[in-house]
Amino acid sequence: MSRLRQTRLIHARHKHARLSHAALVLATTLLASACATGGGAAGSDTANPAKSAAVEVDVPSIQRPSGETPQWWFRDGAAQAAERGAMGGRAKNVILFIGDGMSLTTVAAARILDGQRKGGPGENNRLSWENFPATALSKTYNTDSQTPDSAGTMSAMATGVKTRAGVLSIGQQPMRRDCAGAQAVPMLTLWELAASRGFATGVVTTTRVTHATPGATFTHVPERNWENDTELTDEARQAGCIDIARQLVETRFGNGPDVLMGGGRKNFMPVSERDPEYDDKVGERLDGRDLVAQWKQRHPGGTYVWNAQQLADAPANGPLLGLFEPDHMQFTADRPRDGAGEPTLAEMTRTAIARLKQNDKGFVLLVEGGRIDHAHHYGNAYRALTDTIALSEAVQAAVDATSAQDTLILVTADHSHTLSFVGYPKRGNPILDKVRGSSGEDDGNGHYALDQLGLPYTTLSYSNGPGYVGASAQQPEGPKRFQHTVSGVQIPKNGRPDLRNVDTQDPDYLQEALVPTAAESHGGDDVGIWARGPGSEAVRGSVEQNTIFHFLLQSMPALRAELCKAGDCDGNGVPVTLPEPATFRE
């Protein structure tokens, strides 16, 4: 018996003592809902598949946060999905789209920019996922952080278990960077489960494929920055920790991802090798490993590509590795300037689906618009919004390439940011412009609305970040421009700048920031979830972020059956027990 299995049994026994209370609560809840639905219940149940599929899972009540364990998070997430009816889903495939840092404010502003670019006023426009029938709110906090990061949040969505900020798909017990501790608590991911049981899997992003969000699908580390071997500490190396790039290529869950696309080439290449696209760049690995060669060896029928043309020319089947930049891929706004040519997120999405679809069992795919977050950190709304529009186009490509009868598409963000959408701009006012007012708060004559100093201001601004108006060592006092790597900030001598003659719609303009931080920060507010396809009826209400894993898993009967075979399901077939990764590893 493994140590983990043992711990789990102890936990299960422990839990029993507390169950009577939980059962009482449950009974009361059931009674209450039975009364509420009244006589018409039967009719409305058939009309509402989610309601008829609702399954109750008992969750022990615990002390928060001291009683939280991976086992508890898993069961609680399972309960939240099951009580909403996710078990009623009959999905063959699931696709998870993540807009990294795509706050609800980002969605609202991007929909307006997109609509205005199409010639309309903008507000009535819809991004692709805003046509989906189901929505919910996701609570994003990490187990140790009120405002989360991408590593802890994607781990929650990938494994069904909330954890710390900064770690990838491990339990919350070890501290960040504790290698030995991390190795004792790997959490099985949805992608690993699928790959190990013969389903097709894909991971597509615009960041380095070793970055937090894509990394959490097939790797387990206590430090998200361990992307290549040079970033590990000696202690970590000695304790047996392996970098993220190597884990992605060497994963022992099936053959790993059948499709892996994004940036991050440098983490796969040895220093002795020159980058194919940039003469002045080489690989970053110091362990001598050529992971691209290693990947080819492991996938004899596979294709490796590093530019858009090669991707277009690649054979239509077999495994695919695409590494389109040494670092992150370009922002959508900067793509035209890329030397070798990069595919769009929509093109990568289409390619991935076409390949994964060839597996008759079904597939699990992650597609991340990963640089919405980076643009926000730079304090540049233009790039954040244009990358959000690119994500909308990628989601539309997935809608067009799949059937709502057999494919669940779920769109969400990992966390929020500090972008604000404020003032009383009139209908159709350009979203990146200064506010032209229509309310009593402003002058109402189509002129710029003025603050108490008599100065105009933009509709969009940030609470913190590099857009602070004081002088820095890099840029003079006043409006700042992309890319502003901040140091030596000073208090502004002249207060707010006069924006009358500043083009705030310029792609490089940085929106004003209240607090001068080097990078704009994440936000702790909820993010949206939008869904269509089998199981989407369950996506409603306010849920903890780790429930997203359970929405996806419970909606895919063939996949959840694999957990039941391992003994991880309750009497209703709901996977409620934390799976043991070793059971699924080769």
Residues forming the site for Zn ion (CB under 5 A): 373
Name the minimum Å distance from CB 521 to Zn ion: 8
Q: Which is nearer to Zn ion, 373 or 526 (CB)?
A: 373
Rounded distance between C-alpha atoms, residue 291 and residue 428, angstroms: 50
Closest by CA to 464, choosing from 532, 499, 418, is 418
Q: Which is nearer to Zn ion, 370 or 423 (CB)?
A: 370
Helical spans, DSSP H, in 197-289: 212-215, 234-238, 244-250
Helical spans, DSSP H, in 118-203: 150-159, 179-183, 190-196
* Residues 243/246/250/256 CA torsion (nearest 10 deg): 100
Name the minimum Å distance from CB 313 to Zn ion: 34
Name the minimum Å distance from CB 150 to Zn ion: 6
Which residue of the chain is nearest Zn ion when measured via CB?
373
Angle at the Cα of 369 from the Cα atoms of 368 and 374, rounded to 5 degrees:
120
Name the minimum Å distance from CB 88 to Zn ion: 35
Q: Residue 319 in contact with residue 302, Cβ under 8 Å?
A: yes
* Residues 187/549/106/406 CA torsion (nearest 10 deg): 140
Contacts of 214 (CB under 8 A, 6+ apart): 203, 204, 205, 207, 208, 260, 262, 366, 368, 370
Helix H or strand E segment including 551: helix 547-554
Q: Which is nearer to Zn ion, 178 or 373 (CB)?
A: 373
Closest by CA to 468, choosing from 352, 578, 379, 339, is 379
Name the minimum Å distance from CB 419 to Zn ion: 13
CB atoms within 10 A of CB 21: 11
Q: Residue 538 in contact with residue 551, Cβ under 8 Å?
A: yes
Q: Which is nearer to Zn ion, 72 or 141 (CB)?
A: 141
Q: Which is nearer to Zn ion, 158 or 469 (CB)?
A: 158
**Between the CA of residue 62 and those of 59, 385, 435, what are the distances in Å?**
9, 41, 49
Name the minimum Å distance from CB 165 to Zn ion: 11
Q: Which residues pair with 98 in a beta bridge?
A: 368, 412
Name the minimum Å distance from CB 57 to Zn ion: 33
**Between the CA of residue 44 and those of 37, 89, 497, 531, what are the distances in Å?**
9, 18, 59, 22
Q: Is 569 exposed, middle or buried (0-12, 13-18, 19+ CB in 10 A)?
A: middle
Angle at the Cα of 235 from the Cα atoms of 234 and 239, rounded to 5 degrees:
115
Q: Which is nearer to Zn ion, 224 or 532 (CB)?
A: 224
Q: Which is nearer to Zn ion, 79 or 367 (CB)?
A: 367
Rounded distance between C-alpha atoms, residue 495 and residue 481, angstroms: 18
Q: Which is nearer to Zn ion, 147 or 359 (CB)?
A: 147
Name the minimum Å distance from CB 369 to Zn ion: 13
User: Given 103, 150, 196, 420, which residue is catalytic?
Assistant: 150
Find the distance separating the first CA and the last CA of the chain, reported in whole Å: 18
- Whether residue 20 lies in the annotated active site: no
Q: Which is nearer to Zn ion, 373 or 562 (CB)?
A: 373
CB atoms within 10 A of CB 166: 23
Name the minimum Å distance from CB 190 to Zn ion: 22
CB atoms within 10 A of CB 135: 16
Rounded distance between C-alpha atoms, residue 13 and residue 234, angstroms: 39
Rounded distance between C-alpha atoms, residue 346 and residue 132, angstroms: 18
Name the minimum Å distance from CB 373 to Zn ion: 4
Q: Which is nearer to Zn ion, 83 or 414 (CB)?
A: 414
Name the minimum Å distance from CB 221 to Zn ion: 18
Closest by CA to 449, choosing from 465, 425, 472, 422, is 425
**Between the CA of residue 585 and those of 197, 253, 516, 579, what are the distances in Å?**
10, 5, 47, 12
Q: Which is nearer to Zn ion, 332 or 577 (CB)?
A: 332
The catalytic residue positions are 150
